[in-house]
Structure 1
Amino acid sequence: MITPGDYLDLLDARLPGLVVGAHVYGSRVLDDVVADSDLDIVIELASPASVPAVPGADVAVVLAGSLEKPVFDVTPLSGEITPVLWQQLRTVGQTVRGTRPTCPGTAADVEAYCRDNLISYWKLDFDRFREVLPTLDPEQPIGRDALLWVGLGPSRLWHTIRTGDIISKSQAGELAAQRWPDLAPRILDLVASRRGEDRHLVVDHGRASLEVFDRILADVTT
C-alpha cells in the first residue's frame, strides 16, 4: 500500500520542483483503510505536466491556486473533481505539502451533486442488475469488488444528502443496516468483507444491495 510520502518521492523524482501541493482524502482520512485501499490524493502543480500513473494511487491533478476556487471554475489537468471532493478537502482532508486549501463551495452544491449521481450513475448500474436478477440463483457466488462498490457506495450519498457529512464506505453500510434492519445481515456481511473478514458473498447480497438502493431513492425523494 503506497504512502503519501512514497508517492511524493516518486513525483519529485519525475517532476522536480513542480509539485507544490498535495492533499489526501478518502479512506486515509475517514478511518477506513483496508488492505486494498487506494491512496486518494489531489496534487497541485506549479505548471502543467503529465503525472505518471502509479498503481494504488487515485490522483486528481490541478494547477496551483485551483483549490482556492469553486470546483465549477476549475478544469483539472487529470482525474475527476467534484463538489464532494472539495468538501472533503476543506473539512477532513490532510495537507501533506503546501497550504491547506479553502475549496469554496456550498452545502447545496454537495447535495445536488449527490442527488444527481444517484440517478445518472448508480441507477443505471442497478437497473441493469435488476433486469438479470430473476435469472440468477440467489446462492450463486458474486464478485466481491464490484459488490462492495455497489453495495456500499450509494449509502454514502444517502447520508450526505440527509446530513451534509461525508463518511466512509464502512460507516455508510453500518448506518444503512441500522436504518433497514431487515436487510442488516446482508449489508453487514459487505462491511465485514470490506474489513477483511471471510464472508461468502452471493447473488442475494446483490439483491439486498438493490433493495437498499431503491429504499435510498424513496427516502431522498419524499
Structure 2
Amino acid sequence: MAEVVRAFDEESTAWARVLAALTPAEFGRPTPCPPWTVAELIAHVTAAIARVPDGLAAPSPPRADLDATGYYHPRIFDATANAERVTAAQRAAAAQPDPAALVAAFDRQCRRTLDVVAHQPPGRLVVTRWGDGMALHEFLLTRVVELVLHGLDLAAALDRPIWSTPTAAALVTGFLGVDTAATRLGWDQPTALAKGSGRAPLTPDEEAELARIPLRPFG
C-alpha cells in the first residue's frame, strides 16, 4: 500500500506541476484520446481520482470482487460505458471553462484522496462506480494507471517529454505485464509504457516478444 500511495503522490504532483505551466491555448489542443481536448482529458482524470474518496464514503463491501486488472475488463468498459465517460468529461470541462479552476480541481481531488486514504485501516475495501468491491490498494493502483498512461497522452498532445515518475512508471509497467519483456528488448521506462499500452508502434520483433505474454487491458 505504501508504494502505491507514494506512486500516486509523486505522479499527481508531477501532473500538477505540468498543468500549472500550461497556456490557455494548450487546454484546447486535441489529444490521442479523441474526441477529448487537453481540458477534457484533465477533467476525466480528475473525476477518476475523485472516485477513491467517493467510494470510501460508502460502507466497506463484504468482499473484493476485482483486482486492478479485472477493473479494466472489456465487459465493464463496453461501448455504453465508454460513451458515458466521453460525455461526462466533456460536460465537466465545459462546466469549468477557466483553466485555473480546472487545474485547481485536479489538485484538490488529489490532496483529498491522499488525506482520505491515509486514515483508512489495513485491508480496507472500497466500492467502485460499478458496485464491485476492491481492495483499496488495488483500486488506488488503477488511479496510478490512469495518471501514468493518460500522462503519456497529455505529453503527446502538448509535444512534451514523458514525465512519468520512477515509482509510478515501475508499477504501471508491471501492471501492463511488460516489465520482463522490456528488459529483454532493452526498453527504457517511457518506451515500455508507450509500447506496452499500445501508444507507440511495435517492430515485428517487439510484436513477437509481446505475443509471448498476456498483455493487460487498459480502458
TM-score normalized by the length of structure 2 = 0.27
TM-score, normalized by length of structure 1?
Answer: 0.27
Decide which structure has greater strand share. Answer: 1
Give the number of the structure whose alpha-carbon radius of gyration is greater. Answer: 1
Greater relative contact order structure (CA < 8 Å, 6+ sep): 2
Q: Which has the higher helix share?
A: 2
